Each structure stands twice: as structure tokens, then as C-alpha cells.
Amino acid sequence: MNLGPGRMLPTHRSALNRRQYRKAIRLYRQGKIQWADKQLAGIRTDLRKSLRAQQVERCYFCRQLVYQERRNACEDIEHYLDKAKPRYRKWAFSPVNLTMACHPCNMQKGSRDLGDAAMRASKSLRTGSGSFKWLHPYFDDFHLNIEVHPGWIYAVKPNAPRAAEATAMLRDLELDQIKRIQKTAQRYHDLIARAVVVMNKLIERNEIDRPRMKWVTAFIASINEELRWM
């Protein structure tokens, strides 16, 4: 199963550099608008699309599928260094600070500060600027450090170059705990139940045409594929 890239590339840099977004980004950096502001809607959409494609629709941390739960949801874009912290606000649109995460990982990460004192004092976001508490999506290779086994069992690889960071990441995200595995199974079952509800609604309204039918079957097939891995 393709669990996405080991090390991410800042391919969304060009989207972030678009002329029409410059003003909104400046306003955000100055603290005049917030992340959810509609002036940033276009850039959030571009970012989400780019990150989703690169991460093959998977969460950077746990590598499980991230389903678009709500329309216009913007909470799946994850800032590795928390944008809510004033010292990291300047990196809210830094290409190497952006990734996509699932809701459970996002919640588990919370407001944790993944930088060290040197990073907090740094003006630029680079590897040499300081160190990170977890693996970094752009500076470290996930697959060189973590092995994901069927059943969503995670292990730090022997001779992992970033063993301490990989260990901390698995521990803090509780990816090594049975309750997390149970939650994953439950989430997939809930998604199938919801697909059935949607399908029934479409049938009732007589709206079940070929494209919708295709979409629903593809959705169920993708969840089934994930469940086979449990």
C-alpha cells in the first residue's frame, strides 16, 4: 500500500507565491486577519489540493486516509510549528511548515511546541536553525525512521537516523496504543455507515445517477482497502 512520501517536497511554493495571495498573506502576518478569514480561502484551497496530492490523501503523521469530512474544511492543513504561537506566526505560510493531518492526530498534537529554544529564536525555518521534537515532514525521511505494519502497528526502525524524534512522535501521538487502533477501526466503520446513509438519501430523492453511483462505490472501495489492512 502506498503510504505517501518519506520526505515531503515544498511543491506548493508556487501556489503560495501567487500574486493575488500576497496581500492576504501580508495582512495575516501583520495580525490583521485570522487563518479562517475568507480572504485566505483561495490559498487554503490551493494548499489543501497540493498537500492532498503529494500525501496521497494521507495524514503525514499516521499515514491513514484523511477524508474530507466537511465542505470547505480548513482544519486538515497542519502547521508543524503551531501558527497560534506568536513566535511562529511568521511561518504560517512557509512552504516547509505545512502539511496535512487527520483530525485525531491534529487533536493529539494540540498546541505542542515542536521546536527547541534555538528554533524559537530563529528568523528562518531551516534544518540548521535548531532542532525539532518529532520527525520533520520536509527535513527527515519518515520511512527511514518508522515502519508501519498491517493493522496500523508502528515501530521505530532499527538504526533509524532520528530514533529519538521518531519515538517521541509515536509516543506523543499515541500511535503505539491499542485505543488508537480501535478508534481507527471505528472511524472506518462509521464512514461506511455514513456512505450507506448518503446512498439511501440519493435513492429516496431519485438522484442516483451514474457519476454519483461511481463516487459512492469508489468511496466504499477505498475504505474497504483500508480495512483489509487492519
Provide, rounded to whole angstroms, the least separation between the CB of residue 62 and Zn ion.
3
Binding site for Zn ion (CB under 5 A): 59, 61-62, 102, 105
Provide, rounded to whole angstroms, the least separation between the CB of residue 60 and Zn ion.
7
> Which are the contacts of 19, defined by CB distance < 8 A and separation ≥ 6?
none
Provide, rounded to whole angstroms, the least separation between the CB of residue 66 and Zn ion.
7
Asked if 64 and 152 touch (Cβ cutoff 8 Å), the reply is yes
SS3 at position 164? helix
Q: Which is nearer to Zn ion, 92 or 102 (CB)?
A: 102
SS3 at position 110? coil
Q: Which is nearer to Zn ion, 43 or 105 (CB)?
A: 105
Q: Which is nearer to Zn ion, 89 or 104 (CB)?
A: 104
> Which are the contacts of 201, defined by CB distance < 8 A and separation ≥ 6?
none
Q: Which is nearer to Zn ion, 62 or 119 (CB)?
A: 62
C-alpha–C-alpha distance, residues 89 and 79, integer Å: 10
Provide, rounded to whole angstroms, the least separation between the CB of residue 181 and Zn ion.
13
C-alpha–C-alpha distance, residues 97 and 81, integer Å: 6
